[in-house]
């Protein structure tokens, strides 16, 4: 579908000249090195396969393995479909139409990102459980036999995860739709398509890389989630890892189960590659004005407002409201440690976000310069940490770090006679490393999708003008990727703030974050006391979201 201002179609990726390809470039070396380091914990997890725990596997096979795999697959399908529909639908609604409240919804629909999954699950159970206020009221008015559908079920888990994970798809889809030139859509309209068909036939396929990236992030989150499935009693592979680990005290067997998760993640990434296909959709640099939203009126406008309102209400207003109710009675607990918790959290999240995005750019750019299967595979492998439960990846980080640490201590003692304690284990660096391993996928998926939209002809033009590889990145790509970069930074920042298991295991003595504060209280069922730090996570998560709104609202160059 040719359009005056957009080059849409299949184009080859940017390539270096043959002369440049003779030796591995510094970029390739750098990317391979990064990938190798980030992959160490994943290799550590896989290395558990060397000592097969056949007895445990036989037991699992006899009792539940089929159910676990089936449940996990069902969960992936449900969460994938749910986040796809909700995230894409809402994004198109706010980009493509005008209706009452749109200006607010456009940014407010990102807010659920700041709500940790473990919080929304408890808020829903608290409200809608048999003993909760909603069902109690219903029984009071309508009689004792009245019951709502059981939340502790497949449907309940998919609903929870869709509500917390749809913002990935929404954020990426919204950015993609906004980047599309109005003229592309107008051309489709001028060829007789309705607005809806133009969306389905033009806007949606062009946004495909971003949509697929968002959905696969949501699915990997679902794969790694332990808190929600444990709370809702839905048995998945991840949930079984913890049962084997803590119920049989067999960490090796548990890690082997985690390797099975990696297999799932591998399939997911393969699926993603297949869906993205070989097609690359690039937007020409001068795309003119963005999509002009069409005004909705009457019941359509009302419907659009209602849909956005319901999603926002369920995913944000309701859990935060519940937290506020819980927090009301416990405002003075933990007030003293509070500012330091907040400062530590923001500090760690900031460093993790910048580092992770910088590494992701290096990886993505290397893959762009050298689209070889080797570089591609290395980057994919390095980003698989996202599909592993936090505790598993944390142990995967801890073990090799401790080995290096002990070797270091031994070496120093042997060579110089110095006795040192542990330098790396229990340092901020080990914790930050875990964040990078865990969240590299988030920044890489986001940035890779946005890098892919820059036409390779721009690279060639810059290079022909004598600008080096690094200069091209800095002067051409980074400015064009601003939207994607911002999205990636926000995602990693917020994810790091919410991160619990790796922080718990790897943090230095005496260092605590908001998420640790939440955990210390919830692990004792002290929900009222946990509400204050949980609200702080949500509030601190709003910060980058607002920043993004401000920056994305400024006129684009």
Contacts to other proteins by CB under 8 A:
59-60, 62-64, 125, 129-131, 136, 144, 152, 230-233, 235, 239, 242-243, 245-251, 351, 354-355, 358, 391, 394-395, 398-399, 401-402, 405-406, 409, 421-422, 425-429, 432, 470, 474, 501, 504-505, 508-511, 516, 520-521, 523-526
Contact 399, 434 (CB under 8 A): no
Q: How far is the C-alpha of 159 from the C-alpha of 150, rounded, in Å? A: 12
Kindly tell me which of 5 and 520 has the beta carbon lying closer to other proteins: 520
Kindly tell me which of 295 and 358 has the beta carbon lying closer to other proteins: 358
Kindly tell me which of 212 and 492 has the beta carbon lying closer to other proteins: 492
Kindly tell me which of 5 and 129 has the beta carbon lying closer to other proteins: 129
Kindly tell me which of 122 and 199 has the beta carbon lying closer to other proteins: 122
Place of tokens 């955990």: 519
Kindly tell me which of 270 and 508 has the beta carbon lying closer to other proteins: 508
Using the Cα atoms of residue 498, residue 316, residue 233 and residue 154 in order, give the sign of their dihedral.
Answer: negative
Cβ at position 115, least distance to other proteins in Å: 19
Q: What is the DSSP string of 6-63?
A: ---S--PPP---HHHHSS--HHHHHHHHHHHHHHHHHHHHHGGGGS--HHHHHHHHHH
Kindly tell me which of 86 and 125 has the beta carbon lying closer to other proteins: 125
Cβ at position 116, least distance to other proteins in Å: 17
Read off the DSSP letter of residue 244: I
Cβ at position 132, least distance to other proteins in Å: 8
How far apart, in Å, do the first and last CA atoms of the chain sit?
Answer: 26
Q: How far is the C-alpha of 528 from the C-alpha of 520, rounded, in Å? A: 12
3-state secondary structure string across 367-405: HHHCCCHHHHHHHHHHHHHHHCCHHHHHHHHHHHHHHHH
Q: How far is the C-alpha of 208 from the C-alpha of 216, rounded, in Å? A: 12
Cβ at position 492, least distance to other proteins in Å: 14
Cβ at position 428, least distance to other proteins in Å: 6
Q: C-alpha 101: how far from its chain's center?
A: 27
Kindly tell me which of 209 and 385 has the beta carbon lying closer to other proteins: 385
Tokens of 181: 């030139």
Cβ at position 319, least distance to other proteins in Å: 17
Cβ at position 513, least distance to other proteins in Å: 12
Cβ at position 82, least distance to other proteins in Å: 22
Contact 390, 500 (CB under 8 A): yes
């Amino acid at each position: 579908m040719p359009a005056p201002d957009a080059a849409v179609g299949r184009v080859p990726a940017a390539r270096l000249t043959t002369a440049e390809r003779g030796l591995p470039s510094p970029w390739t070396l750098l990317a391979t090195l990064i990938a190798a380091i980030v992959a160490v914990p994943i290799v550590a997890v896989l290395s558990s396969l060397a000592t097969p725990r056949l007895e445990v596997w036989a037991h699992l096979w006899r009792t539940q393995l089929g159910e676990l795999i089936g449940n996990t697959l069902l969960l992936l399908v449900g969460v994938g479909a749910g986040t796809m529909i909700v995230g894409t639908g809402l994004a198109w609604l706010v980009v493509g139409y005008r209706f009452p409240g749109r200006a607010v919804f456009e940014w407010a629909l990102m807010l659920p990102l700041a709500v940790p999954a473990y919080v929304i699950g408890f808020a829903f159970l608290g409200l809608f459980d048999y003993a909760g206020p909603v069902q109690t009221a219903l029984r009071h008015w309508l009689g004792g036999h009245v019951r709502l559908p059981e939340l502790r079920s497949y449907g309940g888990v998919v609903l929870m995860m869709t509500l917390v994970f749809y913002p990935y798809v929404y954020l990426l889809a919204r950015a993609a739709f906004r980047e599309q030139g109005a003229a592309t859509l107008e051309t489709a309209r001028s060829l007789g398509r309705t607005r809806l068909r133009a969306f389905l036939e033009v806007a949606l396929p062009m946004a495909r890389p971003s949509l697929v990236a968002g959905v696969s992030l949501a699915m990997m989150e679902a794969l790694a989630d332990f808190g929600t499935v444990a709370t809702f009693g839905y048995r998945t592979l991840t949930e079984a890892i913890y049962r084997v680990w803590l119920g049989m005290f067999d960490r090796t067997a548990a890690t082997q189960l985690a390797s099975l998760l990696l297999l799932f993640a591998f399939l997911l990434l393969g699926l993603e590659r297949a869906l993205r296909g070989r097609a690359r959709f690039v937007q020409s640099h001068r795309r003119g004005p963005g999509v002009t939203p069409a005004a909705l009126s009457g019941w359509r406008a009302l419907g659009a407002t209602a849909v956005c309102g319901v999603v926002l209400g369920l995913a944000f207003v309701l859990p935060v409201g519940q937290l506020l109710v819980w927090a009301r009675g416990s405002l003075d607990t933990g007030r003293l440690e509070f500012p330091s918790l907040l400062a530590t959290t923001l500090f760690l999240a900031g460093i993790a976000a910048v580092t992770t995005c910088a590494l992701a750019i290096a990886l993505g750019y290397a893959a762009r310069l050298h689209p070889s299967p080797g570089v591609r595979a290395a980057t994919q492998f390095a980003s698989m940490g996202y599909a592993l439960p936090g505790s598993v990846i944390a142990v995967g980080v801890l073990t090799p770090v401790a080995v290096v640490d002990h070797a270091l201590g031994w070496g120093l003692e042997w060579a110089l006679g110095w006795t040192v304690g542990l330098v790396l284990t229990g340092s901020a660096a080990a914790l930050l490393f875990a964040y990078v391993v865990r969240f590299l996928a988030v920044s890489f998926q986001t940035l890779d999708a946005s890098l892919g939209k820059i036409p390779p002809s721009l690279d060639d033009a810059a290079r022909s003008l004598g600008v080096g590889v690094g200069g091209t990145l800095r002067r051409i790509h980074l400015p064009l990727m601003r939207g994607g970069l911002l999205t990636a930074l926000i995602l990693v920042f917020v994810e790091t703030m919410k991160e619990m298991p790796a922080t718990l295991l790897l943090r230095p003595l005496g260092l605590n974050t908001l998420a640790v504060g939440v955990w210390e209280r919830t692990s004792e069922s002290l929900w009222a006391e946990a509400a204050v730090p949980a609200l702080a996570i949500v509030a601190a998560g709003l910060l980058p979201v607002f920043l993004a709104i401000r920056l994305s609202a400024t006129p684009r160059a």
